[in-house]
Amino acid sequence: MSTDPPTDPPEPSRPTEGAASAGGTGSFAGDAEPDRPRGALAAFRRWRRTRPFWAAVWTGTGGFVIFFLPMAPLGKILQVGIGGIAGMAGGVVLMAMALLILLLPSQRHTAGVLAVIAGVASFPLSNLGGLFVGMVLSVLGGSMAFAWLPEKPAKRAGGLFRRGRTATETPVPPVSIGSGSA
């Protein structure tokens, strides 16, 4: 039984271009440029975080449900009367509020309140608010839009409460304010 000295492991070879297209990602740890979809996804993520994105999604989904639930041929809608038309109008208003929430985050309070009002109004106007699903989604989205706050900038490292004082800092005694007479 002989012991051979350990050999260095072979360096990993880069797959050929055909292997990368056959299921590999095509990027390697040493590549300087990231894949384009990853950059686009990161850009979308940064854009999404600057606005009440999920509030707009829930409001738009609720408006979609409320709008398309009473959809029927025009003859049926005319027989149903104002109920079918009011339901469709409520859905259109909700989808417009979703776009307003998404595209103009500064108007999120107004759009959120209108979305909640339109969602609650859809209960008597449109098939129990899109069978409750559209009403709940639009109220959820409107309230999320109203409550959303833009991300605040990062605080300074020093902050309000410092961990310790340096040797050059001297504490400042508190000043008492008397009655004003000397």
Average pLDDT, the chain: 76
Q: Stretch 149-166: mean pLDDT, rounded?
A: 64
**4 lies in some domain:** no
**86 lies in some domain:** yes
**125 lies in some domain:** yes
DSSP state of 48: H
**DSSP of 124-155, one letter per residue?**
HHTHHHHHTHHHHHHHHHHHHHHH--PPPPPP
**105 lies in some domain:** yes
In the chain, the number of structural domains is: 1
Query: What is the pLDDT at residue 160?
Result: 57
Q: Stretch 45-58: mean pLDDT, rounded?
A: 92
**35 lies in some domain:** no
The CA dihedral of 96, 131, 136, 139, to the nearest 10 degrees, is 40
**24 lies in some domain:** no
> Which of 55, 138, 64, 136 is CA-nearest to residue 103?
55
**40 lies in some domain:** no
**180 lies in some domain:** no
Query: 130: domain range?
Result: 50-147
The CA dihedral of 83, 89, 93, 99, to the nearest 10 degrees, is 130
Choose the weakest-confidence range: 22-26, 58-62, 129-133, 150-154. 22-26
Q: How confident is the model at residue 146 (pLDDT cuts 50, 70, 90)?
A: very high
Nearest-angstrom CA–CA distance, 149 and 28: 38
Nearest-angstrom CA–CA distance, 138 and 64: 10
Using an 8 Å Cβ cutoff, are 146 and 113 in contact? yes
